[in-house]
């Protein structure tokens, strides 16, 4: 078996648009969750039964975990469709890439002058295009929801706090210096938004692609027993990476919907003296 290339291999083209094996894996995950959503909508009774009980249990668990981060059930319900969808999609597509035949069953085609086996399936997150698109969606969604929640002026003041500079003119030189420092820090925050996209996409891509290469190497050494421990390791990695991606997205959404007032610390109350007895 050969080491898979970093880029997903195209299986065929629709016009000039390539359809890659990683894209097929992602489509399978999408179709699966569309079917799950269709089944969930066909619930007839107030008391869930069978598969509906499982679906409701998963949703309630994710809602409870989301609320632990937001500290607010209303915001948890607002963020759950985004965060929950990302978590389940990443987890399912990661585990789908561990099924037998992924990476080994394919078609023979000419690649750069040689005949090579192109796998029909490849883990979706091992394609940097997918992870980069998901990271862009997560960061852009956090900005849009932040603007809609606290308003454009308050939100953009987190990055370019021009309003704070004008207010500081009334409070003396030190206040002006502090406002200028906050303005510079806000510009650094703009750079950090780009870093968010890169870190989210490269972390997920690197871990899943490295796992695929590791399994390929183990299968090449001994195909029967040696890969089994690494398969269980990749199951764990799939859960961890899905959780990390979803939790970071949730953290971005939570911070984006907080105004400056929520970040300010409340002064500590001075404890009242204990009454003394004579």
CA–CA–CA angle 10, 14, 15 (5° rounding): 115
Domain span including residue 245: 10-260
Contacts of 51 (CB under 8 A, 6+ apart): 39
The confidence score (pLDDT) of residue 67 equals 93
SS3 assignment, position 13:
strand
CB 218, CB 226: distance < 8 Å: yes
Q: What is the pTM of this model?
A: 0.81
Determine, yes or no, domain membership for 3: no
SS3 assignment, position 28:
helix
Two tokens at 192? 């950090």
Indicate the number of domains in the chain: 1
CB 213, CB 234: distance < 8 Å: no
Determine, yes or no, domain membership for 65: yes
Determine, yes or no, domain membership for 216: yes
Determine, yes or no, domain membership for 278: no
Determine, yes or no, domain membership for 33: yes
Alpha carbon distance, N-terminus to C-terminus of the chain: 89
Determine, yes or no, domain membership for 277: no
The confidence score (pLDDT) of residue 278 equals 42
CB 83, CB 249: distance < 8 Å: yes
CB 145, CB 77: distance < 8 Å: no
DSSP letter string, 108-158: EEEETTEEEEEES---GGGSHHHHHHHHHHHHHHHHHHHHHHH-HHHHHTT
- Per-residue pLDDT of the chain (278 residues), as tens digits, is 567 777 888 888 888 888 888 899 999 999 999 998 888 887 766 677 778 888 888 999 999 999 998 888 889 999 999 999 999 999 999 898 888 777 777 777 766 667 777 888 888 898 899 999 999 999 999 999 999 988 887 787 777 766 666 666 667 677 767 777 777 777 777 788 888 999 999 999 999 988 888 888 887 787 778 888 888 888 999 999 999 999 999 999 998 888 755 544 444 444 445 554 44
Determine, yes or no, domain membership for 193: yes
């Amino acid at each position: 078996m050969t080491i898979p290339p970093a880029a997903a291999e195209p299986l065929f083209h629709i016009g000039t648009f390539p359809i890659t094996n990683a894209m097929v894996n992602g489509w399978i995950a999408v179709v699966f969750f569309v079917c799950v959503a269709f089944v969930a909508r066909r619930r007839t009774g107030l008391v869930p039964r069978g598969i509906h009980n499982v679906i409701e249990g998963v949703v309630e668990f994710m809602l409870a975990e989301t609320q632990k981060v937001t500290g607010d059930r209303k915001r948890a319900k607002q963020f759950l469709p985004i965060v929950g969808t990302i978590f389940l999609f990443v987890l399912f597509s990661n585990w789908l890439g561990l099924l037998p035949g992924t990476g080994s069953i394919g078609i023979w085609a000419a690649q750069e002058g040689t005949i090579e086996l192109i796998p029909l399936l490849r883990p979706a997150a091992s394609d940097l295009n997918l992870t980069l698109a998901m990271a862009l969606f997560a960061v852009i969604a956090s900005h849009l929801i932040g603007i809609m929640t606290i308003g454009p002026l308050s939100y953009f003041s987190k990055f370019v706090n021009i309003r704070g500079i004008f207010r500081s003119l009334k409070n003396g030189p030190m206040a002006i210096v502090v406002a200028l420092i906050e303005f510079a820090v806000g510009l650094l925050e703009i750079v950090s938004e780009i870093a968010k996209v890169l870190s989210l996409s490269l972390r997920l891509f690197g871990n899943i692609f490295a796992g695929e290469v590791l399994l390929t190497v183990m299968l090449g050494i001994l195909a029967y027993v040696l890969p089994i421990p690494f398969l269980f390791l990749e199951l764990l990695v799939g859960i961890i990476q899905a959780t990390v991606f979803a939790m970071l997205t949730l953290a971005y959404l939570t911070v984006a919907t907080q105004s400056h007032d929520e970040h300010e610390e409340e002064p500590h109350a001075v404890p009242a003296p204990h009454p003394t007895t004579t």
